[in-house]
Structure 1
Amino acid sequence: MLDKKPYGRRNFLQNAALFSAGLMTSLGTANLARASDESVDALVIGSGFGGAVAALRLGQAGIKTLLIERGRRWPITPQQNTFATFRQPDGRAAWLSPVTFFGDRIPIYTGVLETKIENGIAVLCGAGVGGGSLVYNGYTYQPPRELFYRVFPKDIDYDQMDRVYYPRVRSVLKPGVVPQDILASSYYLSSRLFLKQGADAGLPSRLLDLAVDWDVIRQEIQGTKVPSAIIGEHWYGINSGAKNSLDRNYLAQAEQTGNVEILPLHLATTISEVPGHGYRVSCNQINEYGEIVTSKTITCRYLFLAAGSMGTSALLVKAKATGTLPRLNNYIGLEWGNNGDALAGRSGLPKPTNPGQGGPGTSVIEYFDNPLGPIAIQLAPTWNAPDGFLRTVSFAIPSVKGKFNYDYTTGSVKLNWPDSGNGTGDPKVLQLTKFAFRLLDRKNAISSFQPQTDVALGSHSYQKNPVKSGAIFTLTAHPLGGAVLGKACDFYGRVSGYQRLYVVDSALIPGSTGCTNPSFTIAALAERCLERILAEDIK
Structure 2
Amino acid sequence: MVNNLYRRRRFIQGAAFFGAGLAVSAGSPIYRTSATSNYEDTEALIIGSGFGGSIASLRLAQAGIQTLVLERGRRWNIRSDGNTFADFRNPDGRSAWLSPTNLFGQSVDVYTGVLETLNEDGVTVLAGAGVGGGSLVYNAIIYQPIRELFYRVFPRSISYKEMDEIYYPRVLSMLRAAPIPDDVLKTDYYETTRFLLENGKKAGLPTRLLDLAVDWDIVRQEIRGEKIPSALQGEHWFGINSGAKNSLDRNYLLQAEQTGLVKILPLHIVTEISELPRRGYRVKCHEIDERGEVIQSKTFTCRYLFLAAGSMGTSKLLLKAKEKGTLPRLKPSVGQNWNNNGDMVAQRSNLPKPVIGRGGPSGAVVENINNTQNPISLMNLEDWSGGPGTQRCLTLAMTKPKGFFTYDRSTDDVKLHWPEQENRDNLLAAKVTYTTLDGSITTPTTTPKTDVSASICAHPLGGAVMGKVCDQYGRVLNYQGLYVVDGALIPGPTACTNPSFTIAAIAERCMEKIIAEDIHNKRYALQRNDHSQFVAARD
SS of the equivalent of 2:406 reads: strand
Matching residue of 1:523: 504
Matching residue of 1:216: 218
Matching residue of 2:390: 389
Matching residue of 2:431: 434
Q: CA deviation at 1:311?
A: 0.4
SS of the equivalent of 2:117 reads: strand
**Superposed, which structure 2 residues align to 1:138-537 within 5 Å?**
138-355=140-357, 357-399=358-400, 401-420=402-421, 426-457=423-454, 474-537=455-518
CA deviation profile, 1:338-367 (whole Å, cap 9, x unmatched): 000010011111232015x11111210011
CA deviation profile, 1:141-196 (whole Å, cap 9, x unmatched): 00000010111111111111001100111111010000000000111111111100
Given residue 301 of structure 2, which amino acid in structure 1 is its aligned partner? Answer: T
Q: Any unmatched runs of 5+ in structure 1?
A: 3-14, 458-473
Aligned alpha-carbon RMSD (Å):
1.8
Given residue 256 of structure 2, which amino acid in structure 1 is its aligned partner? Answer: A
For 1:223 and 1:69, the matched residues in 2 are separated by: 35
For 1:287 and 1:154, the matched residues in 2 are separated by: 46
Given residue 105 of structure 1, which amino acid in structure 2 is its aligned partner? Answer: S
For 2:115 and 2:396, the matched residues in 1 are separated by: 21
Q: CA deviation at 1:24?
A: 4.9
Cα distance change on mapping 1:272 and 1:18 into 2, 3 Å: closer
Q: Any unmatched runs of 5+ in structure 2?
A: 3-8, 17-22, 524-539
Does the CA-based 8 Å contact 1:101-1:115 persist in structure 2?
yes
Does the CA-based 8 Å contact 1:493-1:504 persist in structure 2?
yes
**Superposed, which structure 2 residues align to 1:80-91 within 5 Å?**
80-91=82-93
For 1:257 and 1:130, the matched residues in 2 are separated by: 17
Structure 1 runs (4+) greater than 4 angstroms displaced: 15-19, 21-27
SS of the equivalent of 2:428 reads: helix
Q: CA deviation at 1:511?
A: 3.0
SS of the equivalent of 2:43 reads: strand
Q: CA deviation at 1:51?
A: 0.1
SS of the equivalent of 2:59 reads: helix
Greater Cα offset, 47-56 or 345-354: 345-354
Given residue 110 of structure 1, which amino acid in structure 2 is its aligned partner? Answer: T
For 1:241 and 1:19, the matched residues in 2 are separated by: 27
Given residue 433 of structure 1, which amino acid in structure 2 is its aligned partner? Answer: A
**Superposed, which structure 2 residues align to 1:41-120 within 5 Å?**
41-120=43-122
Given residue 315 of structure 1, which amino acid in structure 2 is its aligned partner? Answer: L
SS of the equivalent of 2:301 reads: strand
Q: CA deviation at 1:445?
A: 2.8
For 2:460 and 2:194, the matched residues in 1 are separated by: 30
For 2:401 and 2:468, the matched residues in 1 are separated by: 18
SS of the equivalent of 1:510 reads: coil
Pairs aligned (count): 505
Given residue 169 of structure 1, which amino acid in structure 2 is its aligned partner? Answer: V
For 1:87 and 1:382, the matched residues in 2 are separated by: 12
For 1:219 and 1:139, the matched residues in 2 are separated by: 21
For 2:452 and 2:34, the matched residues in 1 are separated by: 48
CA deviation profile, 1:28-57 (whole Å, cap 9, x unmatched): 168421011111000000000000000000
Cα distance change on mapping 1:333 and 1:19 into 2, 3 Å: closer
Greater Cα offset, 40-49 or 272-281: 272-281
For 2:237 and 2:172, the matched residues in 1 are separated by: 22
Q: CA deviation at 1:449?
A: 2.6
Cα distance change on mapping 1:104 and 1:309 into 2, 3 Å: same
Does the CA-based 8 Å contact 1:342-1:394 persist in structure 2?
yes
For 1:16 and 1:266, the matched residues in 2 are separated by: 16
CA deviation profile, 1:362-393 (whole Å, cap 9, x unmatched): 21001101111111110111111111001100
Q: CA deviation at 1:17?
A: 11
Given residue 455 of structure 1, which amino acid in structure 2 is its aligned partner? Answer: V
For 2:14 and 2:213, the matched residues in 1 are separated by: 32
Does the CA-based 8 Å contact 2:13-2:97 persist in structure 1?
no
SS of the equivalent of 1:535 reads: helix
CA deviation profile, 1:443-479 (whole Å, cap 9, x unmatched): 223223321111122xxxxxxxxxxxxxxxx110000
Greater Cα offset, 117-126 or 441-450: 441-450
For 1:487 and 1:236, the matched residues in 2 are separated by: 35
Q: CA deviation at 1:486?
A: 1.4
For 1:155 and 1:330, the matched residues in 2 are separated by: 23
Given residue 502 of structure 1, which amino acid in structure 2 is its aligned partner? Answer: Y
Q: CA deviation at 1:16?
A: 8.5
SS of the equivalent of 2:444 reads: coil
Larger radius of gyration: 2
For 1:99 and 1:117, the matched residues in 2 are separated by: 13
SS of the equivalent of 1:296 reads: strand
Cα distance change on mapping 1:309 and 1:19 into 2, 3 Å: closer
Does the CA-based 8 Å contact 1:400-1:426 persist in structure 2?
no
Identity across matched positions, percent: 58
Does the CA-based 8 Å contact 2:470-2:477 persist in structure 1?
yes
Cα distance change on mapping 1:132 and 1:145 into 2, 3 Å: same
Q: CA deviation at 1:105?
A: 1.1
For 2:389 and 2:278, the matched residues in 1 are separated by: 65
Q: CA deviation at 1:233?
A: 1.1
Matching residue of 1:35: 37
For 1:316 and 1:21, the matched residues in 2 are separated by: 13
